[in-house]
Amino acid sequence: MGHVILITGGCRSGKSAFAQQLAEETGDQLLFLATSPPLDREMQERIRLHREERAHRGWQTVEEQQCPARIIRESPPGATILLDCLTLWINNMLYLAEKEGKLLDEKTVRGKAEELLLTCRERPGTVIMVTNEVGLGIVPENRLARRYRDLVGRCNQCIGREADEVYLVSCGVPLKLKG
């Protein structure tokens, strides 16, 4: 029922701007679902400014670091949701797991991604997800970075295979991969 769009690209590739533009063309009721933890004061200030700037264009912002599916489930049917971004969500889950001495493996992430997709399907309306490509550089020496890279790739694959539309953004230019 719900429509799922995945947007990928590198750091500062213009993927978030394209995602917002796509959302604004899609719907009237706009929900920005932020997964970003406000790490330091500079980051907090930046997030606040982005939030205000979006509010002027009709967006409501909700923050959820661990369970974006819950927010999607509880959001008004028909509203266009922009989940920005999957990589920070994976990062938050990995951080929590490490803190609790647990292992976040690819199977668990696949389960989480499938739950997220199912939630989007059960709810009328469009969900646009932003992610990052993080696996196109040299294998990182840091063990946790390697795990993160694997988990993000796994999540992107799961979502990308099921999504109705997939875009790759490079140099501010979106390329439709699917849909």
Q: Please give the residue ranges that form the binding site for a second copy (CB under 8 A).
A: 6, 8, 10-14, 106, 131-142, 145, 148-150, 152-154, 156-161, 163, 166, 168, 170-173, 175, 177-178
Nearest distance from C-beta of residue 153 to a second copy, angstroms: 2
In the bound state with a second copy, the residue whose beta carbon lies nearer, of 70 and 178, is 178
Helix (H, G, I), strand (E, B) or coil at 37: coil
Is the CB of residue 125 less than 8 Å from the CB of residue 27?
Answer: yes
Main-chain dihedrals φ then ψ at residue 11, nearest 5 degrees? -60, 135
Binding residues: 9-16, 34-36, 51-54, 63, 84
Return binding residues for GTP. 9-16, 34-36, 51-54, 63, 84
Whether 82 and 130 have beta carbons less than 8 Å apart is answered as: yes
- Alpha-carbon distances, residue 46 vs 33, 36, 61, 81 (angstroms): 16, 11, 14, 21
Instruction: Give the strands of the sheet with 59-63, arranged side by side.
Output: 59-63, 30-34, 80-84, 126-130, 3-9, 165-170, 173-178
CB atoms within 10 A of CB 156: 24
Give start and end residues of each alpha helix (H) in the chain. 15-26, 41-55, 68-74, 86-99, 106-122, 143-162
DSSP helix/strand/coil, 161: helix
**Cβ closer to a second copy: 63 or 150?**
150
Which of 80/131 has CB closer to a second copy? Answer: 131
> Measured from the CB of residue 25, what is the shortest distance to a second copy in angstroms?
17
Choice between 61 and 170, CB closer to a second copy: 170
- Give least dist CB 17 to a second copy, A: 8
Q: Which residues are annotated as catalytic?
A: 50
CB of 177 to a second copy, least distance (A): 5
